[in-house]
Chains A and B, each alone.
Chain A
Amino acid sequence: MTESNKQVVLDIADLHAWYGESKALHGMNFDIREGELVTLLGRNGAGKTTALRCIMGLVRKKTGAISYKGENLTQKAPEIVARRGIAYCPEERGIFSSLSVAENLELPPVIAPGGMSVDEILDLFPNLKARWSSPGTKLSGGEQQMLAIGRILRTGAKLLIFDEPTEGLAPVIVKQIAVVLEKLKARGFTILLVEQNFRFASKLADRHFVVDHGKIVERLSRDELAGNEAKIQAYLGV
């Protein structure tokens, strides 16, 4: 397998996390290799978003190890994590209403060379061009999601983290986002995707991690999907 020869860029080991008194992650382990697209699958409350927030340093109360390219980021502040080359697109999209589309797109500072130019991003999402100077939250849900994705491509970050980018969007837009994610992967970005939409994720990802009760309960590569769909559906079903 060629994939396994690639270097591990992000390694999560025995990650535990708490929100106040309540524990959200119970020893999570997974890794991502360079250029891979992996998904965290799981139902609501399984701990997927918490895992992402831990990686970004947005959850303070945690133990375990998060290492990125060999550096331990476990207790680092979010701005340090971002500066190491990880970009985050949150579940609620996080479009700023007091900023125009242009300002939203240009907000994240460039942290390394090699990011996409604004023109390239607008080629990916032509809809945004027409809305260039309108306030960010005047956009439709789909446009906001495109803006949220486009925003993190400029910075030169090599690892992109997307939290449920398809949530609540029309099928045609979901398809468009799938195309974009494939293009990004082809460009060499490493992508960590959190999804509940298994049909969407199954076509894109190299490997899947199924999350339940705050830990990884199933690890499947693209080739192993065929026989295991029922099992996955059981985890994802309510």
Chain B
Amino acid sequence: MMDLIGVPPALLFGQLLVGLINGSFYAMMSLGVAIIFGMLRIGNFVHGAQYMLGAFGAWYLLRLPELFPGLGLPSIGYWWALVIVPLVVAVIGGLMERIFIRRVYDLDHAYGLLLTVGLAMAIEGAFNVYYGAAGQMYGVPDSLKGGINLGFMFLPIYRAWVIVAAIVVCFGTWYTVERTKLGSYLRAATENPDLVRAFGINVPRLLMLTYAFGVGLAGFAGVMAAPIYQVSPQMGQGIIITIFAVVVIGGMGSIFGAIVSGLMLGVIEGLTKVFYPQASATVIFVIMALVLVFRPAGLFGKETTSHSVADVSSGRAGSLLENGRLWFAVFAAGGIALPFLIYPIMGMKILVLALFALAYNLIFGYVGLLAFGHAAFYGTSAYVTAHAAAAWGLPTELCILMGVCAATAVGALFGWLAIRRQGLYFAMITLALAQIIYFYAVQAPWTHGEDGIQSVPRGTLFGVIDLSNTFNMYYVTLAVFLAGFALVYRIIHSPFGQTLKSIRENEPRAISLGYSTDRFKLIAFTLSAMLSGVAGAMKAIIFQLASLADVFFMTSADVLLMTLIGGVGTLLGPVVGAAVLVSLQRELATFGAWVVVIQGVIFVLCVLFLRKGIVGTLEEFLANRAERKAQTGAGQSETVTKTEVAQ
């Protein structure tokens, strides 16, 4: 057979078909995400889990007799599942909106994303407990079995059906939103929900139905996916980050953009598999980076007015809790005593993660940018440090330096790309960029894939301090942590730090005062990446391991959770958060796979009830007390003056 452009046609068309199939799913999923984002301003991270629910729903229906043997239920096949499951998943979505998502509409976008991340962790974690990593099989329905020989390739009927159905559903949705009365309500409510309500339209219900519809689409995609991909708890986890990238490429809020980009990127991904297979996992993220450089609003997006950054900080200037010198002394003293109270290894874990969270807080707490890809910097540094130590045998301090430099470079590049957008976009972009590092680490030979780099020698620091001694290692870690703490404190109290806070509070005003805010944001982002790199390098040396977990998005979620639990934008929050999370993970270790579920629930509870975090809540309490004191004090002095006057 003739080769086309040096590639056998069967392979080329085969991959094109695979690309179109994947693209169909991307289109259906990103359509839902785009609609939900457009209407509700929620970055629906739980969309992947809802897609998984759809696939499991179809599988459950098929296995009804086995699941409930006593009830004599029939096995419900594919076609009924295609009707029932999306409806059920939509109802679940509606309930989620009612119970959780509705509560964060009036808050910053960051909370919506955090809430849905928590929900995704809880749902996917729960399925993982029951079904593990293994996939369940779901056969192709009889009526769609077989295929057609097109001469140049064999086309399985089911795959053709998926593509046709996806296109019909997508364009049907597009037509509904853009061309019908209902669609005009939706578009108007996106622009000015209050006014639409004042016209007599029940916008809260409209929002719930929109969310349910978007989720139903995910459920529909899940049923469609069941016969093609394996039905597994993880199936939604990978795809959601890709979907976010697709939505960014298409242009946030552009429904047409989401559909077209979804299909197109699936095909591009398929073609990449033919011509340059190594890049097929990352090509979408690379395209996203290019689009951001040349068309920041996305291919089909309209240039939106720049959203200001998020101010979710709960620190209070001049408070006891923000006194860096005092707490430096407290941490130094406490840190010295700590290894006599708990295992030094656990102490080191707390210190490293606290440093990581301090670094993260610099960008999220003090600049107000919701970064969601800090695992990239932490993990890059861990890998480079581990490789330099294990493969090249370089001195430890040089390894750490190399790791930190690598993280800083990656941070500067990602920051340069990401600061073009704000708010939720920033989170989605950093998340997607971090995936490039993740997939690189999966594939590159020197990172050793699933094994990671193991048995990293700790070496001797400056040729004198033997780090294989746990206590030496601990005190070096403590010294690094304290230096990091002092540096962060110094940064946020410098004129540079004050400028960052002014950007957080009112970016347009900072710009009008003559600050090039983008430059400040970039510097802060790079500094944050650098410090994350320090934490990652220390982690690699302490635990003598760099693994995929370090670059996985859960690490980004963890550092965010630590900062949130502790108190965003407070000096102590990250440290408290790290201590709490590490202790919690240790306590929960006995629950095995449930840990992820519990962590997800904590995420949700934090977003709903503890937005100020532990330190922020304490701060509020102290502030209220101080105010009360000031008031009673003022009242007393007033009476005193009056009595004096009377006399």
Contacts and interface: CB of A to CB of B under 8 A. Distances in A.
B189 to A, nearest CB: 9
A198 interface: no
Contact of A96 (B192, B198, B200, B203): B192
B200 A83 contact: yes
A77 B185 CA distance: 18
Interface string A68-83: 0000000001110111
Contacts of B198: 56-58, 78-79, 81-82, 88, 90
Interface residues of A, number: 25
Given A79-B202, A79-B203, A107 B197 contact: no
Contacts of A122: none
Interface stretch (A98-106, A188-196, A208-216): A98-106
A190 B202 CA distance: 25
Contacts of B184: 99, 103, 106-107
B194 to A, nearest CB: 5
A99 B188 contact: yes
Contacts, number: 62
Interface residues of chain A: helix, strand, loop or mixed (majority):
loop
Most buried by B among A81, A87, A107: A107
A155 B184 CA distance: 16
Given A79-B201, A109-B201, A111-B200, A94 B195 contact: yes
Interface in B201-244: 201-203
Interface residues of chain B: helix, strand, loop or mixed (majority):
helix
Interface residues of B, number: 18
B191 interface: yes
Contacts of B188: 96, 98-99, 107
A26 B585 CA distance: 53
B187 A109 contact: no
A97 B191 CA distance: 8
Given A96-B192, A98-B187, A108 B199 contact: yes
B185 A58 contact: no
B181 interface: yes
B190 interface: yes
A155 B196 CA distance: 13
A111 B201 CA distance: 10
Contacts of B190: 98
Interface in A137-154: 152
Interface string B345-377: 000000000000000000000000000000000
Q: Which 8 A-B pairs have the closest CB atoms?
A: A82-B200, A78-B197, A108-B199, A98-B187, A94-B195, A103-B184, A78-B198, A96-B188
Interface of B: 181, 184-185, 187-188, 190-192, 194-203
19 contacts: A58-B194, A79-B201, A82-B198, A82-B199, A87-B199, A94-B192, A94-B195, A96-B187, A96-B191, A98-B187, A98-B190, A103-B184, A107-B184, A107-B188, A108-B199, A108-B201, A109-B200, A152-B199, A155-B200
